[in-house]
């Protein structure tokens, strides 16, 4: 089994990260074959087996999955929980979900996972791997090698207009003392500007984001995410963009835009 890495993150010795393709799994049909998403129509047992395949591949058992809802809620998994550090109501701490997060952390339990409603995960705990499930949406990896903190953010167009990237960086600052200038970031394969058409953009997307639109009503959310990272203080030279469009690469990646009924591929990051 192989997975993709982003060069800047791959050069860092303190973390492991990866973008898994849709291949070498147990699912069939539109979910062929390494679908890690519950609730998309695949058999739960296939999803469980696929998650086990990834766990064995990286030889780690503590994988944290969540119920992603295109929201802006961030979960902090910390060595020492500090509720006083919560910057707003959209942040929750590991202790609030201790029953759900018992090892293995949601890896095999779709009912528990449904209760863990977050779209970004942040941790300073070694060997705890943060997983996002995507099929066109971006997974944004972040690592502060100074404070030894990692995060994984799920951001589709709704996440972009809610600036979940900026919210997550603020949580890293407030909860762990991270400095944005120290953060190394990477953006996974996702829907590219070549395919991100929004025919009803005037109703869906705020006017402040229309600067990312071309003459064919295609939006460049890759650039939007890079801008949000930089606006939060991340240095542009510390940002890796995969430049891989999921809709253009159906042999390797699931794409909701391209296929409709489809699976979700996994992205993960964790401290060694």
Enclosing domain of residue 246: 3-191+238-271
Residue 271: helix, strand or coil by DSSP?
strand
Does 98 reside within a domain?
Answer: yes
Does 78 reside within a domain?
Answer: yes
Does 228 reside within a domain?
Answer: no
Predicted confidence (pLDDT) per residue in 254-271, tens digit: 999 999 999 999 999 999
What is the value of pTM for the model shown? 0.94
The chain-wide mean pLDDT, for the chain, equals 93
Measure the CA–CA gap between 41 and 16, rounded to whole angstroms: 30
**Which is it for strands 265-271 and 15-20: parallel, antiparallel or unpaired?**
antiparallel
Does 133 reside within a domain?
Answer: yes
**Confidence band (pLDDT; 50, 70, 90) for 114?**
confident
90-94, 153-157, 247-251 — which is least confidently predicted? Answer: 90-94
Predicted confidence (pLDDT) per residue in 115-147, tens digit: 889 999 999 999 999 999 999 999 999 999 999
pLDDT score, position 112? 78
Number of structural domains in the chain: 1
Does 204 reside within a domain?
Answer: no
Does 168 reside within a domain?
Answer: yes
Measure the CA–CA gap between 159 and 171, rounded to whole angstroms: 16
Within its chain, how far is the Cα of 41 from the centroid? 21
Does 224 reside within a domain?
Answer: no
Does 25 reside within a domain?
Answer: yes
b/e string for 33-71 if b means 16 or more Cβ within 10 A?
bbbbbbebebeeebbbebbbbbbeebebebbbbbbbeeb
The domain that holds 181 is classified in CATH as: 3.60.140.10
Tell me how far apart the terminal alpha carbons of the chain are, to the nearest angstrom: 20
pLDDT at 83 over 60: no
Q: Mean pLDDT over residues 2-14, rounded?
A: 96
Share of the chain above pLDDT 90, in %: 85
3-state DSSP helix/strand/coil % of the chain, to nearest 5: 30, 25, 45
242, 188 Cβ separation under 8 angstroms: yes
Provide the β-strand partners of residue 129.
Answer: 63
Share of the chain above pLDDT 70, in %: 91
pLDDT at 84 over 50: no
Predicted confidence (pLDDT) per residue in 177-234, tens digit: 999 999 999 999 999 999 999 999 999 999 999 999 999 999 999 999 999 999 999 9
- The radius of gyration of the chain's CA atoms, rounded to the nearest angstrom, is 17
Q: Mean pLDDT over residues 158-171, rounded?
A: 98
List all residues 6 or more positions away from 189 whose beta carbon is below 8 Å from its beta carbon.
Answer: 4, 19, 242, 244, 245, 246, 249, 252, 253
75, 93 Cβ separation under 8 angstroms: yes
């Amino acid at each position: 089994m192989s997975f993709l890495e982003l060069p800047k993150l791959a050069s860092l010795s303190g973390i492991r990260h990866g973008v898994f393709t849709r291949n070498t799994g147990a699912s069939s049909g539109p979910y062929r074959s390494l679908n890690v998403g519950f609730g998309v129509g695949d058999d739960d047992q296939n999803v469980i087996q696929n998650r086990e395949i990834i766990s064995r591949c990286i030889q780690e058992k503590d994988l944290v999955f969540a119920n992603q809802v295109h929201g802006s809620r961030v979960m902090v998994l910390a060595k020492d929980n500090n509720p006083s550090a919560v910057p707003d109501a959209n942040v929750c701490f590991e202790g609030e979900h201790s029953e759900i997060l018992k090892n293995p952390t949601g890896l095999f339990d779709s009912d528990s996972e449904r209760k863990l409603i977050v779209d970004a995960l942040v941790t300073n705990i070694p060997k705890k791997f943060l997983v996002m499930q995507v099929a066109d949406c971006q997974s944004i990896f972040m690592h502060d090698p100074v404070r030894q903190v990692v995060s994984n953010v799920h951001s589709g167009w709704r996440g972009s207009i809610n600036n979940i990237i900026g919210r997550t960086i603020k949580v890293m600052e407030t909860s762990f003392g991270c400095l944005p200038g120290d953060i190394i970031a990477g953006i996974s394969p996702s829907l590219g500007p070549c395919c991100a058409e929004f025919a009803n953009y005037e109703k869906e997307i705020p006017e402040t984001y229309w600067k990312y639109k071309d003459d064919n009503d295609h939006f460049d959310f890759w650039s939007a995410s890079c801008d949000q990272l930089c606006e939060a203080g991340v240095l542009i030279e510390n940002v890796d963009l995969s430049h891989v469009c999921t809709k253009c690469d159906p042999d390797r990646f699931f794409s909701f835009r391209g296929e409709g009924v489809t699976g979700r591929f996994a992205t993960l990051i964790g401290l060694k």
